[in-house]
Structures are given as C-alpha cells and as structure tokens.
Amino acid sequence: MKRRKNIFTKKSRWQVIGEKIAVVFGIVLVVALLGYGIYKGVGWMTWGSKGKDYSLKPAEITVLDGTKLNLESALTLESEGKPVKGKVSSVEVGKGLVTSNKENESSKSDEIEFDGEGEGSIQLTYTLENGKSVARDLKVKVVKAEDSKDNQEFITGNGKKMKRENGAFMVDGLPVINNVLKVSETFDPGESHEAKKAMDKMIAGAKKEGIHLEIVGGYRNWSQQKSGYESYFKLVGEKTAERYWAKAGSGDSQSGQSYDLNYMQPQLIDTAAGKWLDQNCYKYGFVIRFPKGEEEMTGFAYQPWHVRYVGDKLAAKLYNQGAWISIERYLGLPAKQ
C-alpha cells in the first residue's frame, strides 16, 4: 500500500514568496494607516482617547479688545467632568479674529492677544500627560471696551469673570479703571469704608516702626478728576500730564479705594517712608497701583505714592515677592489704546 504524500510538510517556493509578500504588505498598510491617522490628528496618539468625552471649559467666551488670554490659566480641558492634565501644544486661529497669532497659522504660543473686535473660533490642541492629543474649538467674541454695555459679562486674560456694572468694569468686586477700561460719568461710589479702615491700620502700623505716612489725596468723583487733570495740564503740559494724571473716566482715584501718600513725586521711593510703603503696603491689602517698569501695561508712569486697596490675597500676588506687577498684567487686561 502506497504512503500518502503529506502536502503540509514542505512549502513550495511560491508559497514562501507569497507569505513574505503578504507580511510586507501588512506592515506597509499598518504604517500607512498610522501615518494618515497622525496627519489627520486621529492616529495612535488619540485612539486611546476614544470613548471619552473631552470638553473645553469654557467653550465660548467674550473678551475685550486688547485682552491677553493665557490659555493655560483661563481654560480647562475636562473629561467626564474632571480636569485633565495636559498642555496646549498647538493654536490655530480661524477667520474673523485678529490676534497676535496669524490667521490659519498654527502656533505653539500659550498666550493670545486680541487686536480688534470680531467673532470666530480658535482650535486648540492639547498634549496630555500620556502622550495622547486632543483638539477642541474655542468660540470667541471680541468687543471694544467703549462698545460694552452694563451687565455684559467677559472673562479676563487669566480666566476671571468680569462684568460691566453701574458704569464700571468689575472683577471680584474690584473696579478696574484705566485709559481703556473707563468708568461712566455716573459712577460715583464714594470712599470705600473697607479701604479707609485698612489705610488707618497701615498708618498706625507704620508709626509703630517710626515711619510717618500721611494721606494727601483720596477719592475723586468725575468732576474732581476732570478739574484736577485740567489744572495739572496747564502746569506741566500734555505729555507729562497724561503720564501722571488720568483724564475723567480713566482715573484710578475714582475707584474709591485709592490714596496718595506723603508727597506726589517719584523721589518718595528714596525716603524711608517710600521704601517702607513699597515693601509693606501689601500686608495691609494695598498695592503700588502703578509699579516701576509696568508703564506699558498700566499706561501711566511709576507712582510710588499712589496705593490701591485690593485685599490681602490679591495684594500678596501683585507684590510678587518684591517684584511688583500691575493689575493689568495679572488679569491680562488692556490699559493702553
């Protein structure tokens, strides 16, 4: 009886070649699919995120023209209602928005400065801690400060809520006033009792250390701010006047939370009182409203005599371990036209 030949014991030459071709073709196909997926932003980096509901909070914002939006602090990427750790790796500004990032050009910047009113969207791509990539759209409306209306809400550059109330831009109960964020003629809060109480406490505290502080200027209403500017303008001229004294509507002294101490000259910082004020006012909730080196942010020259009450927590942040930063820089808000 003849033994049957086992056809599986040895493969033919063409079978071997065919299998090799199949393996090579499979590898090429997988690589091509991965490459295409990465190119489209849905490759192996994002496959692991499928099934998760990633959302941007907030997904729609209204900001003022000139706002510097810090993407890391103002926005949060969430999954299932919880924050997801990751960093913005790419920013692409769409049509309708004028920003520091060119339209339709991808950028790695984590800050966007809006430079004109308009509406549009910005695509943000986040790289997560596990290496995955998630892209989401942020809808943005940019409004000029002078076109804003009472009760209109905005977000600041660092994500704080801001509202136009009673003719002023308010952030956590703090009126922010400068050459862009102007108050209306009807805004007349008077002197803040909380600020006055804190000032009295600071004057007493300085006295215990042998330092004399004296209030030489405080709250000004619209007409007082206007007449003060006009008098100063006649005395020093327009160029100097605009650096040191705000026009009506733009004056920080109209907040009801500001004071001028001792004498209104830059040389105050060279005195014992000026140095003490610079190093200690934050302990009482006050800040140097127009810090040295912040003129581009505030729109006004350095004024070591002018302090503003903002509360202990914010004052400590703006003190910045002795390297004062302005309210405008901290909030990412415009001050210069």
Name the least confident of 35-39, 42-46, 292-296. Answer: 42-46
231 and 324 belong to one structural domain: yes
Whole-angstrom distance, CA of residue 337 vs CA of residue 334: 8
pLDDT band at residue 163 using 50, 70 and 90 as cut-offs:
very high
Tally of domains in the chain: 2
Same-domain status, 212 and 118: no
Q: State which residues form the domain around 63.
A: 54-165
* CB atoms near residue 146 (< 10 Å): 10
- How does strand 86-93 pair with strand 106-107? antiparallel
Co-location of 107 and 213 in the same domain: no
Residue 260 near residue 215, CB atoms below 8 Å: yes
Closest of 326, 198, 183 to residue 257, by C-alpha:
198
Q: Which of 312, 196, 302 is nearest to 326 (CA)?
A: 302
Which pLDDT score, from 0 to 100, does residue 80 have? 86
Q: Average pLDDT in the 238-258 region?
A: 93
Mean pLDDT of the region 137-143: 96
Residue 187 identity (one-letter amino acid): F
Task: Record the tokens describing residue 135, joined without a space.
Answer: 């892209």
CATH number at residue 93: 2.60.40
Q: Considering the domain boundaries, does residue 175 fall inside one?
A: no
Q: Is the confidence at residue 160, as pLDDT, over 50?
A: yes
Q: Same domain, yes or no, for 160 and 215?
A: no
Task: Note the pLDDT tens digit of each residue in 13-25.
Answer: 656 566 666 666 6
Same domain for 249 and 126?
no
Six token digits for residue 197? 């109480």
Say if residue 166's pLDDT is above 60.
yes
